[in-house]
Amino acid sequence: MSNTQDYVQWFRGAAPYIKAHRRKTFVIMITDEVIYSDRFIGLVHDIALLNHLGIKLVILHGSRSSIDSHLADNKLDSRFHRNIRITDTAALPLVIHAINEVKTYFESQLSTGLPNTPMSGSELSLVSGNFVTGMPLGVIDGVDMQHSGKVRAIKHEAINDLLALNHVVLLSNLGYSRTGEVFNLPAEELAGEVARALKADKLIFVQPGIADGDAQASTLSTRQCESMLEDSATPGELTSLLQQAIQAIQAQVKRVHFIDPRVDGGLLLELFTRDGYGIMVTNLFYEGSRAASIDDVGGILSLIEPLQDSGILVARSREQVELEISHFQVIEKDGMIIACIACIQDSKDDTAEIACLAVHESYQGSGLGNQLLQFAEDRAIKSGISRLYTLTTRTSHWFIEHGFTESGDFDLPEVKRATFNPERGSKILLKSI
Protein backbone atom coordinates (compact mmCIF):
# COMPACT_ATOMS: atom_id res chain seq x y z
CA MET A 1 0.00 0.00 0.00
CA SER A 2 1.28 3.45 -0.85
CA ASN A 3 1.96 6.00 1.86
CA THR A 4 -1.00 8.06 0.69
CA GLN A 5 -3.28 5.07 1.04
CA ASP A 6 -1.86 4.29 4.47
CA TYR A 7 -2.63 7.83 5.45
CA VAL A 8 -6.19 7.65 4.14
CA GLN A 9 -6.75 4.35 5.95
CA TRP A 10 -5.31 5.75 9.13
CA PHE A 11 -7.40 8.88 8.94
CA ARG A 12 -10.58 6.94 8.29
CA GLY A 13 -9.70 4.61 11.14
CA ALA A 14 -9.32 7.58 13.49
CA ALA A 15 -12.65 9.14 12.48
CA PRO A 16 -14.88 7.20 14.91
CA TYR A 17 -12.59 8.16 17.78
CA ILE A 18 -12.51 11.81 16.77
CA LYS A 19 -16.30 11.76 16.84
CA ALA A 20 -16.49 9.79 20.07
CA HIS A 21 -14.09 12.05 22.02
CA ARG A 22 -15.59 15.36 20.95
CA ARG A 23 -17.03 17.36 23.90
CA LYS A 24 -15.79 14.69 26.33
CA THR A 25 -13.82 15.60 29.45
CA PHE A 26 -10.32 14.20 29.89
CA VAL A 27 -8.20 14.72 32.99
CA ILE A 28 -4.55 14.28 32.09
CA MET A 29 -1.80 13.98 34.68
CA ILE A 30 1.75 14.65 33.50
CA THR A 31 4.75 14.34 35.79
CA ASP A 32 7.42 17.00 35.87
CA GLU A 33 9.98 14.44 34.64
CA VAL A 34 7.97 14.25 31.44
CA ILE A 35 7.50 18.03 31.31
CA TYR A 36 11.27 18.56 31.42
CA SER A 37 12.05 15.77 28.94
CA ASP A 38 12.83 16.00 25.20
CA ARG A 39 9.51 14.39 24.41
CA PHE A 40 7.50 17.19 25.96
CA ILE A 41 7.21 19.37 22.87
CA GLY A 42 5.56 16.46 21.05
CA LEU A 43 3.13 16.11 23.93
CA VAL A 44 2.38 19.84 23.88
CA HIS A 45 1.53 19.49 20.23
CA ASP A 46 -0.75 16.53 20.96
CA ILE A 47 -2.50 18.42 23.78
CA ALA A 48 -3.15 21.34 21.41
CA LEU A 49 -4.56 18.90 18.87
CA LEU A 50 -6.93 17.37 21.44
CA ASN A 51 -8.11 20.86 22.36
CA HIS A 52 -8.75 21.66 18.69
CA LEU A 53 -10.71 18.44 18.31
CA GLY A 54 -13.16 19.73 20.89
CA ILE A 55 -12.01 17.65 23.86
CA LYS A 56 -12.38 19.35 27.23
CA LEU A 57 -9.03 19.15 28.96
CA VAL A 58 -8.00 19.44 32.57
CA ILE A 59 -4.26 19.02 32.94
CA LEU A 60 -2.44 18.39 36.16
CA HIS A 61 1.27 18.62 36.48
CA GLY A 62 3.27 16.68 39.03
CA SER A 63 6.28 18.24 40.73
CA ARG A 64 7.92 15.40 42.61
CA SER A 65 11.38 15.40 41.06
CA SER A 66 11.58 19.22 41.06
CA ILE A 67 10.70 19.29 44.76
CA ASP A 68 13.34 16.62 45.40
CA SER A 69 16.02 18.66 43.70
CA HIS A 70 15.01 21.95 45.37
CA LEU A 71 15.13 20.27 48.78
CA ALA A 72 18.46 18.61 47.99
CA ASP A 73 19.94 21.92 46.76
CA ASN A 74 18.96 23.43 50.10
CA LYS A 75 20.32 20.44 52.02
CA LEU A 76 16.90 19.46 53.31
CA ASP A 77 16.03 15.77 53.53
CA SER A 78 13.01 14.44 51.70
CA ARG A 79 11.13 12.44 54.29
CA PHE A 80 8.28 10.15 53.36
CA HIS A 81 5.68 8.25 55.29
CA ARG A 82 3.53 5.66 53.50
CA ASN A 83 4.99 6.94 50.25
CA ILE A 84 3.72 10.48 50.98
CA ARG A 85 6.17 13.34 51.40
CA ILE A 86 6.15 14.99 54.82
CA THR A 87 6.15 18.71 54.02
CA ASP A 88 7.50 20.47 57.09
CA THR A 89 7.62 24.21 57.69
CA ALA A 90 11.18 24.53 56.35
CA ALA A 91 10.31 22.62 53.19
CA LEU A 92 7.01 24.34 52.38
CA PRO A 93 8.41 27.50 50.68
CA LEU A 94 10.72 25.35 48.56
CA VAL A 95 7.87 23.04 47.66
CA ILE A 96 5.72 25.99 46.58
CA HIS A 97 8.63 27.41 44.63
CA ALA A 98 9.29 24.13 42.84
CA ILE A 99 5.60 23.67 41.99
CA ASN A 100 5.30 27.20 40.64
CA GLU A 101 8.42 26.76 38.57
CA VAL A 102 7.02 23.64 36.90
CA LYS A 103 3.69 25.38 36.35
CA THR A 104 5.34 28.43 34.79
CA TYR A 105 7.44 26.28 32.47
CA PHE A 106 4.37 24.29 31.50
CA GLU A 107 2.39 27.46 30.75
CA SER A 108 5.24 28.88 28.71
CA GLN A 109 5.47 25.75 26.58
CA LEU A 110 1.74 25.71 25.96
CA SER A 111 1.88 29.34 24.90
CA THR A 112 4.48 28.93 22.17
CA GLY A 113 2.10 28.87 19.20
CA LEU A 114 3.96 25.65 18.34
CA PRO A 115 6.24 26.95 15.59
CA ASN A 116 7.61 24.31 13.22
CA THR A 117 4.99 21.77 14.19
CA PRO A 118 1.81 20.76 12.39
CA MET A 119 -0.15 22.78 14.97
CA SER A 120 1.79 25.93 14.19
CA GLY A 121 -0.11 29.11 14.99
CA SER A 122 -2.57 27.41 17.30
CA GLU A 123 -3.31 29.24 20.51
CA LEU A 124 -4.40 27.55 23.67
CA SER A 125 -6.09 29.36 26.49
CA LEU A 126 -4.83 27.98 29.79
CA VAL A 127 -6.60 28.87 33.02
CA SER A 128 -5.62 28.05 36.57
CA GLY A 129 -6.95 29.19 39.94
CA ASN A 130 -8.05 28.22 43.41
CA PHE A 131 -10.11 25.25 42.28
CA VAL A 132 -8.77 22.86 44.90
CA THR A 133 -9.61 23.13 48.57
CA GLY A 134 -7.14 21.25 50.70
CA MET A 135 -6.99 20.14 54.30
CA PRO A 136 -4.23 18.67 56.45
CA LEU A 137 -3.52 14.96 56.31
CA GLY A 138 -2.94 15.26 60.04
CA VAL A 139 -1.11 12.67 62.08
CA ILE A 140 -0.77 9.23 60.49
CA ASP A 141 0.60 6.34 62.58
CA GLY A 142 1.93 8.93 65.00
CA VAL A 143 3.69 10.89 62.23
CA ASP A 144 2.61 14.52 61.79
CA MET A 145 2.34 15.09 58.04
CA GLN A 146 2.39 18.87 58.64
CA HIS A 147 1.82 20.77 55.38
CA SER A 148 1.11 17.64 53.36
CA GLY A 149 -2.58 17.63 52.70
CA LYS A 150 -5.45 15.94 51.00
CA VAL A 151 -8.28 17.18 48.85
CA ARG A 152 -11.31 18.52 50.66
CA ALA A 153 -13.28 19.77 47.68
CA ILE A 154 -12.94 20.50 43.99
CA LYS A 155 -14.78 23.47 42.52
CA HIS A 156 -16.06 21.34 39.69
CA GLU A 157 -18.76 23.76 38.57
CA ALA A 158 -16.23 26.52 38.01
CA ILE A 159 -13.96 24.10 36.14
CA ASN A 160 -16.86 22.91 33.98
CA ASP A 161 -17.81 26.50 33.14
CA LEU A 162 -14.28 27.15 31.90
CA LEU A 163 -14.17 23.92 29.93
CA ALA A 164 -17.44 24.83 28.25
CA LEU A 165 -15.73 28.01 27.02
CA ASN A 166 -12.93 25.89 25.50
CA HIS A 167 -10.30 26.89 28.06
CA VAL A 168 -7.80 24.25 29.13
CA VAL A 169 -7.72 24.10 32.92
CA LEU A 170 -4.27 23.66 34.44
CA LEU A 171 -3.96 22.47 38.02
CA SER A 172 -0.91 22.24 40.24
CA ASN A 173 -0.67 19.88 43.18
CA LEU A 174 -1.47 22.55 45.74
CA GLY A 175 -4.61 23.01 47.77
CA TYR A 176 -5.73 26.04 49.75
CA SER A 177 -7.58 25.60 53.03
CA ARG A 178 -10.49 27.69 54.21
CA THR A 179 -8.14 29.12 56.83
CA GLY A 180 -5.75 30.32 54.12
CA GLU A 181 -3.06 27.64 54.50
CA VAL A 182 -1.33 25.98 51.57
CA PHE A 183 -1.03 22.21 51.33
CA ASN A 184 1.20 20.05 49.19
CA LEU A 185 -1.06 17.39 47.67
CA PRO A 186 -0.03 14.09 46.07
CA ALA A 187 -0.51 14.79 42.37
CA GLU A 188 -1.90 11.37 41.41
CA GLU A 189 -4.46 11.59 44.17
CA LEU A 190 -5.47 15.06 43.05
CA ALA A 191 -5.84 13.83 39.46
CA GLY A 192 -8.13 11.05 40.67
CA GLU A 193 -10.18 13.43 42.82
CA VAL A 194 -10.59 15.89 39.95
CA ALA A 195 -11.64 13.15 37.51
CA ARG A 196 -14.19 11.87 40.02
CA ALA A 197 -15.54 15.33 40.83
CA LEU A 198 -15.98 16.12 37.14
CA LYS A 199 -17.22 12.62 36.34
CA ALA A 200 -14.65 12.78 33.57
CA ASP A 201 -14.79 10.47 30.61
CA LYS A 202 -11.12 9.67 30.93
CA LEU A 203 -8.38 9.92 33.50
CA ILE A 204 -5.01 9.64 31.78
CA PHE A 205 -1.64 9.29 33.44
CA VAL A 206 1.27 10.19 31.18
CA GLN A 207 4.04 8.96 33.39
CA PRO A 208 6.44 6.09 33.79
CA GLY A 209 5.28 3.16 35.87
CA ILE A 210 2.47 0.95 34.78
CA ALA A 211 2.72 1.04 30.99
CA ASP A 212 6.53 1.06 30.79
CA GLY A 213 7.79 -0.38 27.56
CA ASP A 214 4.50 -2.12 26.95
CA ALA A 215 4.46 -2.11 23.19
CA GLN A 216 1.24 -4.07 23.21
CA ALA A 217 -1.88 -2.32 24.34
CA SER A 218 -3.74 -4.09 27.04
CA THR A 219 -6.65 -3.77 29.35
CA LEU A 220 -6.81 -4.21 33.09
CA SER A 221 -9.98 -4.73 35.05
CA THR A 222 -10.36 -3.11 38.44
CA ARG A 223 -10.14 -6.60 39.87
CA GLN A 224 -6.75 -7.11 38.24
CA CYS A 225 -5.64 -3.78 39.69
CA GLU A 226 -6.74 -4.99 43.12
CA SER A 227 -4.71 -8.18 42.67
CA MET A 228 -1.67 -6.10 41.70
CA LEU A 229 -2.15 -4.07 44.87
CA GLU A 230 -2.24 -7.24 46.95
CA ASP A 231 0.84 -8.62 45.22
CA SER A 232 3.95 -7.87 47.30
CA ALA A 233 6.04 -7.77 44.09
CA THR A 234 4.20 -4.62 42.91
CA PRO A 235 6.51 -1.63 43.51
CA GLY A 236 5.29 0.78 46.20
CA GLU A 237 5.28 3.76 43.83
CA LEU A 238 2.59 2.12 41.72
CA THR A 239 0.24 1.74 44.66
CA SER A 240 -1.27 5.19 44.43
CA LEU A 241 -1.76 4.95 40.67
CA LEU A 242 -3.58 1.64 40.97
CA GLN A 243 -5.72 2.94 43.83
CA GLN A 244 -6.66 6.02 41.82
CA ALA A 245 -7.56 3.89 38.83
CA ILE A 246 -9.85 1.65 40.89
CA GLN A 247 -11.54 4.54 42.70
CA ALA A 248 -12.03 6.50 39.49
CA ILE A 249 -13.69 3.58 37.72
CA GLN A 250 -15.87 2.86 40.73
CA ALA A 251 -16.96 6.52 40.68
CA GLN A 252 -18.13 6.29 37.05
CA VAL A 253 -15.05 7.69 35.31
CA LYS A 254 -15.34 5.62 32.16
CA ARG A 255 -11.72 4.81 31.45
CA VAL A 256 -8.33 5.23 33.06
CA HIS A 257 -5.26 5.09 30.79
CA PHE A 258 -1.60 4.72 31.59
CA ILE A 259 0.71 5.93 28.87
CA ASP A 260 4.43 5.42 28.61
CA PRO A 261 5.77 8.96 28.07
CA ARG A 262 8.84 7.73 26.22
CA VAL A 263 6.73 6.79 23.21
CA ASP A 264 6.38 9.74 20.88
CA GLY A 265 2.67 10.13 20.14
CA GLY A 266 1.70 7.49 22.72
CA LEU A 267 -1.27 9.60 23.82
CA LEU A 268 -2.62 9.88 20.27
CA LEU A 269 -2.07 6.19 19.57
CA GLU A 270 -3.99 5.30 22.71
CA LEU A 271 -6.87 7.63 21.96
CA PHE A 272 -7.27 7.35 18.20
CA THR A 273 -6.34 3.84 17.17
CA ARG A 274 -8.41 0.76 17.63
CA ASP A 275 -5.64 -1.19 19.27
CA GLY A 276 -4.51 1.66 21.51
CA TYR A 277 -1.03 1.78 22.92
CA GLY A 278 -1.04 2.14 26.68
CA ILE A 279 -2.79 0.25 29.42
CA MET A 280 -6.46 0.91 29.88
CA VAL A 281 -8.40 0.24 33.06
CA THR A 282 -12.11 -0.24 32.61
CA ASN A 283 -15.08 -1.34 34.60
CA LEU A 284 -15.43 -4.22 32.22
CA PHE A 285 -15.23 -7.61 33.80
CA TYR A 286 -16.47 -5.80 36.89
CA GLU A 287 -17.66 -9.04 38.31
CA GLY A 288 -15.27 -11.01 36.17
CA SER A 289 -15.26 -12.44 32.68
CA ARG A 290 -14.67 -16.13 32.69
CA ALA A 291 -15.04 -19.30 30.72
CA ALA A 292 -18.58 -20.59 31.06
CA SER A 293 -19.38 -23.81 32.87
CA ILE A 294 -22.36 -26.09 32.61
CA ASP A 295 -23.92 -24.21 35.56
CA ASP A 296 -24.16 -21.11 33.39
CA VAL A 297 -26.44 -22.65 30.78
CA GLY A 298 -29.59 -21.32 32.51
CA GLY A 299 -28.11 -17.82 32.80
CA ILE A 300 -27.01 -17.78 29.16
CA LEU A 301 -30.44 -18.92 28.00
CA SER A 302 -32.16 -16.18 30.04
CA LEU A 303 -29.90 -13.65 28.36
CA ILE A 304 -30.29 -14.87 24.79
CA GLU A 305 -33.90 -16.05 24.72
CA PRO A 306 -35.45 -12.57 24.27
CA LEU A 307 -32.98 -11.93 21.43
CA GLN A 308 -33.87 -15.27 19.86
CA ASP A 309 -37.58 -14.50 20.18
CA SER A 310 -37.10 -11.22 18.34
CA GLY A 311 -35.06 -12.95 15.64
CA ILE A 312 -31.78 -11.16 16.40
CA LEU A 313 -30.03 -14.32 17.47
CA VAL A 314 -30.50 -17.67 15.84
CA ALA A 315 -32.45 -20.10 18.04
CA ARG A 316 -30.32 -22.37 20.21
CA SER A 317 -31.80 -25.13 22.29
CA ARG A 318 -30.70 -25.84 25.84
CA GLU A 319 -29.06 -29.06 24.57
CA GLN A 320 -27.07 -27.14 21.98
CA VAL A 321 -25.85 -24.58 24.53
CA GLU A 322 -24.90 -27.45 26.83
CA LEU A 323 -22.91 -29.11 24.05
CA GLU A 324 -21.15 -25.87 23.12
CA ILE A 325 -20.62 -24.59 26.64
CA SER A 326 -16.83 -24.97 26.53
CA HIS A 327 -16.72 -22.39 23.71
CA PHE A 328 -18.58 -19.75 25.72
CA GLN A 329 -17.13 -16.85 27.67
CA VAL A 330 -19.45 -14.99 30.01
CA ILE A 331 -19.48 -11.85 32.14
CA GLU A 332 -21.30 -12.16 35.42
CA LYS A 333 -22.53 -9.37 37.63
CA ASP A 334 -24.34 -9.85 40.92
CA GLY A 335 -24.78 -13.51 40.09
CA MET A 336 -26.44 -12.81 36.73
CA ILE A 337 -24.93 -13.51 33.31
CA ILE A 338 -24.98 -10.11 31.65
CA ALA A 339 -22.97 -10.86 28.52
CA CYS A 340 -21.77 -13.85 26.55
CA ILE A 341 -19.94 -14.84 23.41
CA ALA A 342 -19.09 -18.16 21.80
CA CYS A 343 -16.06 -18.77 19.65
CA ILE A 344 -16.68 -22.10 17.95
CA GLN A 345 -13.73 -23.68 16.23
CA ASP A 346 -13.96 -26.09 13.37
CA SER A 347 -11.43 -28.79 14.18
CA LYS A 348 -10.48 -29.23 10.52
CA ASP A 349 -9.85 -25.61 9.81
CA ASP A 350 -8.05 -22.53 11.07
CA THR A 351 -11.40 -20.72 11.07
CA ALA A 352 -13.73 -20.13 13.99
CA GLU A 353 -17.23 -18.78 14.27
CA ILE A 354 -18.15 -15.91 16.56
CA ALA A 355 -21.64 -16.69 17.71
CA CYS A 356 -24.18 -15.89 20.34
CA LEU A 357 -22.71 -12.50 21.19
CA ALA A 358 -25.13 -10.78 23.53
CA VAL A 359 -25.00 -8.07 26.14
CA HIS A 360 -27.88 -7.51 28.54
CA GLU A 361 -29.91 -4.43 27.56
CA SER A 362 -29.05 -2.57 30.77
CA TYR A 363 -25.32 -2.94 30.12
CA GLN A 364 -25.15 -2.23 26.41
CA GLY A 365 -22.97 0.60 25.20
CA SER A 366 -20.34 0.34 27.92
CA GLY A 367 -17.87 -1.67 25.89
CA LEU A 368 -18.71 -5.17 27.12
CA GLY A 369 -19.41 -6.42 23.59
CA ASN A 370 -16.11 -5.01 22.41
CA GLN A 371 -14.29 -6.56 25.34
CA LEU A 372 -15.78 -9.99 24.83
CA LEU A 373 -14.93 -9.90 21.15
CA GLN A 374 -11.35 -8.95 21.96
CA PHE A 375 -11.18 -11.76 24.46
CA ALA A 376 -12.53 -14.27 21.94
CA GLU A 377 -10.01 -13.03 19.36
CA ASP A 378 -7.10 -13.39 21.76
CA ARG A 379 -8.18 -16.89 22.64
CA ALA A 380 -8.65 -17.80 18.98
CA ILE A 381 -5.17 -16.51 18.08
CA LYS A 382 -3.69 -18.61 20.86
CA SER A 383 -5.37 -21.73 19.45
CA GLY A 384 -3.96 -21.13 15.99
CA ILE A 385 -7.07 -19.61 14.42
CA SER A 386 -6.32 -17.08 11.70
CA ARG A 387 -9.81 -16.20 10.55
CA LEU A 388 -13.11 -15.49 12.24
CA TYR A 389 -16.52 -15.43 10.67
CA THR A 390 -19.91 -14.52 11.95
CA LEU A 391 -23.45 -14.62 10.63
CA THR A 392 -25.66 -11.70 11.44
CA THR A 393 -28.93 -10.18 10.39
CA ARG A 394 -28.93 -6.87 12.28
CA THR A 395 -25.51 -6.31 13.74
CA SER A 396 -23.31 -6.20 10.66
CA HIS A 397 -22.29 -2.59 11.24
CA TRP A 398 -21.12 -3.32 14.74
CA PHE A 399 -18.92 -6.13 13.46
CA ILE A 400 -17.65 -4.00 10.55
CA GLU A 401 -16.63 -1.37 13.07
CA HIS A 402 -14.69 -4.13 14.79
CA GLY A 403 -12.66 -5.08 11.73
CA PHE A 404 -14.97 -7.57 9.98
CA THR A 405 -15.80 -7.28 6.29
CA GLU A 406 -18.73 -8.60 4.36
CA SER A 407 -18.02 -11.66 2.27
CA GLY A 408 -20.62 -13.02 -0.10
CA ASP A 409 -18.51 -15.90 -1.40
CA PHE A 410 -17.17 -17.40 1.82
CA ASP A 411 -17.68 -21.16 1.98
CA LEU A 412 -19.09 -21.97 5.37
CA PRO A 413 -17.31 -24.84 7.12
CA GLU A 414 -19.07 -28.15 6.62
CA VAL A 415 -20.26 -28.40 10.19
CA LYS A 416 -21.94 -25.01 9.92
CA ARG A 417 -23.54 -25.71 6.57
CA ALA A 418 -25.54 -28.48 8.17
CA THR A 419 -27.35 -26.05 10.49
CA PHE A 420 -27.32 -22.95 8.27
CA ASN A 421 -30.76 -21.54 7.54
CA PRO A 422 -30.56 -19.46 4.33
CA GLU A 423 -34.06 -18.10 4.94
CA ARG A 424 -32.73 -15.88 7.72
CA GLY A 425 -30.86 -13.92 5.06
CA SER A 426 -27.88 -13.49 7.38
CA LYS A 427 -24.84 -11.64 6.17
CA ILE A 428 -21.54 -13.44 6.45
CA LEU A 429 -18.72 -11.35 7.83
CA LEU A 430 -15.05 -12.27 7.99
CA LYS A 431 -12.05 -11.05 9.91
CA SER A 432 -8.42 -12.11 9.60
CA ILE A 433 -6.71 -12.16 12.97
Ligand X SMILES: CC(C)(COP(=O)(O)OP(=O)(O)OC[C@H]1O[C@@H](n2cnc3c(N)ncnc32)[C@H](O)[C@@H]1OP(=O)(O)O)[C@@H](O)C(=O)NCCC(=O)NCCS
Residue ranges that bind ligand X, judged by CB under 6 A: 307, 312-313, 357-359, 364-370, 390, 392, 394-395, 397-398
Least distance from ligand X to the Cβ atom of residue 368, Å: 4
Least distance from ligand X to the Cβ atom of residue 397, Å: 4
Q: Which helix (H) or strand (E) holds 212?
A: none
- CA–CA separation, 304 and 345 (whole Å): 21
User: DSSP readout, 338-371?
Assistant: EEEEEEEE-TTSSEEEEEEEEE-GGGTTSSHHHH
Would you say 243 and 229 are in contact if contact means Cβ atoms under 8 Å apart? yes
Least distance from ligand X to the Cβ atom of residue 337, Å: 12
Give whichever of 159 and 368 is closer to ligand X, judged by the CB atom.
368
Assign 3-class secondary structure to 249-304: HHCCCCEEEEECCCCCCHHHHHHHCCCCCCEEEECCCCCCEEECCHHHHHHHHHHH
Give whichever of 151 and 303 is closer to ligand X, judged by the CB atom.
303
Residue of minimal CB distance from ligand X?
369
Q: Which of 396, 424, 394, 389 is nearest to 410 (CA)?
A: 389
Would you say 390 and 377 are in contact if contact means Cβ atoms under 8 Å apart? no
Least distance from ligand X to the Cβ atom of residue 361, Å: 8
Least distance from ligand X to the Cβ atom of residue 47, Å: 24
Give whichever of 39 and 360 is closer to ligand X, judged by the CB atom.
360
Least distance from ligand X to the Cβ atom of residue 187, Å: 31
Least distance from ligand X to the Cβ atom of residue 127, Å: 30
Give whichever of 243 and 395 is closer to ligand X, judged by the CB atom.
395
Give whichever of 176 and 398 is closer to ligand X, judged by the CB atom.
398
Give whichever of 82 and 424 is closer to ligand X, judged by the CB atom.
424
Which whole-number Å values give the CA distances from 306 to 298, 301, 309, 425, in the listed order? 13, 9, 5, 20
Which whole-number Å values give the CA distances from 333 to 132, 282, 288, 390, in the listed order? 36, 15, 8, 26
User: DSSP readout, 413-428?
Assistant: -HHHHTT--GGG--EE
Give whichever of 60 and 373 is closer to ligand X, judged by the CB atom.
373
